[in-house]
A = this chain, B = another copy of it.
Amino acid sequence: MPTFNPVKPGEKIDLSKLDPADSSFFEEGKKEGKKQLTKLTEKLEILQELFYAHGKHRLLIVLQAMDTGGKDGVIRHVFEGVNPQGVSVANFKVPTPEELSHDYLWRIHKQTPSAGEIVIFNRSHYEDVLVVRVKNMVDKHVWSRRFDQINAFEKMLSEEGTIILKFFLHISKDEQKQRLQERLDDPSKHWKFNPGDLKDRALWDEYMHAYEDVLSRTSTAWAPWYIIPSDRKWLRSLIIADILVKTLEGLNMTLPDRTEELSHITIE
């Protein structure tokens, strides 16, 4: 598969010009795509085990999207085969009073991965320049300086040994409508329906604008943003799996050779 490129630092982003159903990355269709995805998740399983055993790097994956964008789906379909030991998901919901009494990166930093660990952020510190901005929860002078703060924070993490990959799951407003309707129509999906999502939907354009700023200002060499066309679920998962596999393979991890050391051991 070709390489899927991240946003270039500072690149102007117009999300309305990027087709959420774009399939140019993989044109062989859904059936073949799902086959490839299975192959990639099998590779990922092996690579994650190596990552854990190797124990030198940390991997932080940030997932951001509008509601129904597919964050849960990515976690399920890309990571399903992976050993839960060494992989964890951090969900960032509305901050608790304790979290609110600290700076917004406090709860984030706590959940960053340790050596050999992969942590997936289901929402993240980016909410502090997205929902917080769109809903005017803090003044502009407060959220606007957070771009630099976030870049500095992620740079430190990166310099100290954390690999960071950030995925924006880009869906169309029509696709969201359809997915929300499915949740309404199917009683087994009712638990997923949150009337509050409709309020965010009404602010769609404001969110897109806020996302454009995030993508343009916080995609860096050390923590790139990938805009994933996500109207097709299989394609979205396929692209992400491919980026993950390529990133992990690029680490050229090998297990320490302990043959010599262990050859002297006799178990009585």
Contact = CB atoms under 8 A, between A and B. Distances in A.
B110 A110 contact: yes
A58 B162 CA distance: 29
A15 interface: no
Given A152-B149, A156-B153, A102 B112 contact: yes
Given A103-B162, A145-B159, 17 more contacts: A98-B114, A101-B115, A101-B116, A102-B115, A103-B156, A103-B157, A103-B161, A104-B160, A105-B109, A105-B160, A149-B152, A149-B156, A152-B152, A152-B153, A152-B156, A153-B153, A153-B156
Contacts of A155: 149, 152
A182 B104 CA distance: 46
A142 B159 CA distance: 8
A112 B157 CA distance: 18
How many copies of the chain does the oligomer comprise? Answer: 2
A4 interface: no
Q: Which of A109, A145, A152 has the most CB of B within 10 A?
A: A109
A101 B51 CA distance: 14
Contacts of A110: 106, 109-110
Nearest to A156: B149
A153 B108 CA distance: 13
Contact of A149 (B58, B109, B159): B159
A110 B25 CA distance: 42
A230 B58 CA distance: 42
18 contacts: A98-B114, A101-B114, A101-B117, A102-B112, A102-B114, A103-B112, A103-B156, A103-B157, A103-B160, A103-B161, A105-B156, A106-B110, A106-B112, A109-B110, A145-B159, A149-B159, A152-B155, A153-B153
Nearest to A138: B160
A162 B103 CA distance: 8
Q: Which of A101, A155, A157, A162 has the most CB of B within 10 A?
A: A101
Contacts of A104: 160
Contacts of A101: 114-117
Nearest to A109: B109
Interface in A153-201: 153, 155-157, 159-162
Contacts of A142: 159
